[in-house]
Amino acid sequence: MPAQPMIFLDTETGGHDPALHSLLTIGLVTLEGGEVTRPLHLRLRHEAYHVQAEAMAVNGIDLLAHHAQAQDAPEVAQAIRDYAAEVGRVMLGGHNFGFDLAFLRPLLPDLGRVFRRGYADTKLAAQFLIHAGVLPKSVGTPLDQLAKHFGIEYAAHDALEDARTTAQVYVKLMGLVGRNVN
């Protein structure tokens, strides 16, 4: 029987603290039958952007170009709700997902009604598989290291690319434990 679809999500932010720094972009993809589909890249507009130079150097976002393409928070939140409604009330997945959820919850306070309450975290899954001896310790748990280990092409620090890569890593991790997501 095919596995239930999942939505994988990633964010790019202006820093590490959701109470201080701006949520800038959100990437979503659907994983169904082992295939990654329905890419959606959302840009969030702010009146004032609260960012750290270090974070902006990592994510490479040009705030002027970003602002010109971005949508206001209610529109972005509704786009996420609409995306989820097309897939169904499914579980979310991400990499080091607690970070993303901390930025997402203020934007989408009804998160628990839009998606199932549980979520899959490929960083935590990889840590478990390393401790269980299923995944070599030398791989590590950063997304770029997992992608390299599994032969997945990856251009880091773009929310949509990170979501796509995370979904592909999830498929590979599930394969290590004999679970076919096809």
Domain harbouring 127, CATH code: 3.30.420.10
Asked whether residue 167 is domain-assigned, the answer is yes
9 and 165 in contact (C-beta within 8 Å)? no
Task: Let me know if residue 1 belongs to a domain.
Answer: no
User: Could you report the per-residue pLDDT of 4-31, keeping only the tens digit for each?
Assistant: 899 999 999 999 999 999 999 999 999 9
Strand partners, 25: 12, 43
User: What is the domain extent for residue 51?
Assistant: 6-176
Given a contact cutoff of 8 angstroms between Cβ atoms, the answer to whether 41 and 160 are in contact is: yes
Q: Please tell me the total count of domains within the chain.
A: 1
The pTM (predicted TM-score) of the whole model is 0.94
Identify the pLDDT of residue 179.
61
> Which residues of the chain register pLDDT less than 50?
1-2
**Residue 181 domain flag:** no
Cβ pair 44, 73 in contact under 8 A: yes
d(CA 18, CA 104): 9
pLDDT at 2: 41
**According to the model, what pLDDT value does residue 24 have?**
98
Q: Which H or E element spans position 174?
A: helix 159-176
